[in-house]
Amino acid sequence: MTLNVDSLLTAAKAKAKSEEFGDDWFLEPLGVLVDALNTEANLSETGLQMTERRLTALLVDRLRLRALQKDHPEILDVDVRVAAEICGLPRTGSTLLHRLLEASPQLTSTLSWECSYPIPFPGEGPDSAERKTRAKKMMDMFLELSPDFGDIHTVVWDGPEEDILLLDRSFTAMSWDSFYWVPTYGVWLRSFDQSRAYGELREWLQVLQWQDKTRDGKKWVLKSPHHLTAADTVLDEFPDCKIVMTHRSPTSAVPSYASMVQAMTSQYSDAADPKLIGPYWNERFVECLGGFAEVRARRPDRFVDVHFKAMLTEPLVQAQRVLGELGLSTGTADIQAFEGYLKVNQKERHGSHSYTAEDFGLSTEQLATDFSFYTEAYL
């Protein structure tokens, strides 16, 4: 059995009871992804079934989005204002900064459960109970399939999560080559114009803001390393947005991310090879950071820098500084919220995770050489 785009589309239409996808631009990225999944991913039987369900569900969400916009055209008038997209190499303190800033009463962010289920189910009440229940079960299943993941990255079903999970529905997201061994897709993605995907990200944020009136007047603070691949597009789509870039030595960050990818890929394939995963992500991040530097040189006023060590030693100071860089003043309510989250963060932390660069076909010396252009500029 293999994945088939036409079969996926047919299944989604039947499940959603709708055939209105709108603009079919997404068929190109979906086709590239499906080809790579069939030819490169070495999916296990379970992995294939899970992937088919996942792709179908995302297509159903696309259909439900168009139906919701048709029934409630006012959604397209919702004023989405993004204050910041936090990005940088993975494993650089971006999660701590994201969750800390999101605690501010002036800001809001995408939550894990609503990234999984962004559109209300028929008959669902304003408490979103059904979606929250499903999201919690999904998180529990994910951690059961990948028991080491919680030691690598803290996940909470009802807390802030990366907006890349919304971009998954455009099939143009770094999550696909993180969860699967699909190198041809990953290479293709980094040369693809993602402007339409980011236009859809705005639409998803409109849907979430429309549902939750407590977000009115707040600005969004979002986060994902994926935005390294489309910095110009982010800044063009969200004119008020600044990119907050977190920095850590790639000699630590790249092997750390490779260990996370290994844990995720192993859910879907019994043939995940760490010695391939490491060099792949090494090359991708060298490429991304090179292009990112060019964008920064042209638009320096749109960037804010935060260093990993500073986030560990003085997170409250860094959160206040970033808030100021975003044009927001820090009040008593912000300080109390930040302090409250830091206490929660201590409780959320789990065990440690051990690995070496060599476990992933890399070496500290090689990483230092490959990323010297980056470390000399920012570290």
pLDDT at 148: 64
Residue 265 located in a structural domain: yes
pLDDT at 151: 55
Q: What is the DSSP letter of 82?
A: E
User: Which two tokens mark 143?
Assistant: 């951690």
Counted domains in the chain: 1
156-203 pLDDT per residue, tens? 888 999 999 999 999 999 999 999 999 999 999 999 999 999 999 999
Residue 139 located in a structural domain: no
Report the CATH number at residue 182: 3.40.50.300
* CB-based contact 113:132 (threshold 8 Å): yes
Bridge partners, residue 246, by sequence? 88, 306
Residue 3 located in a structural domain: no
Exposure b/e, 144-161, CB count within 10 A at least 16 = b: ebbeebbebbebebebbb
pLDDT at 259: 93
Closest CA relative to residue 326, chosen from 207, 218, 200: 218
Residue 69 located in a structural domain: no
User: Which phi-psi region, left, alpha or beta, contains residue 40 (left: φ > 0; alpha: ψ -120 to 50)?
Assistant: alpha
pTM: 0.94
Mean pLDDT, consecutive 10-residue stretches, the chain (379 aa), reads: 96 97 97 98 97 98 98 98 95 93 98 96 91 92 70 75 97 97 97 97 98 96 96 97 97 94 94 97 96 94 97 96 98 97 77 82 98 95
Strands (E), the chain: 82-88, 107-108, 219-223, 242-247, 303-307
Residue 14 located in a structural domain: no
54-112 pLDDT per residue, tens? 999 999 999 999 999 999 999 999 999 999 999 999 889 999 999 999 999 999 999 99
User: Which two tokens mark 206?
Assistant: 């409109």
Distance separating alpha carbons of residues 146 and 158, to the nearest angstrom: 19
* CB-based contact 85:238 (threshold 8 Å): yes
pLDDT at 312: 93
State which residues form the domain around 329.
80-110+144-378
pLDDT at 328: 97
Residue 310 located in a structural domain: yes
Distance separating alpha carbons of residues 174 and 224, to the nearest angstrom: 9
Residue 9 located in a structural domain: no
Residue 374 located in a structural domain: yes
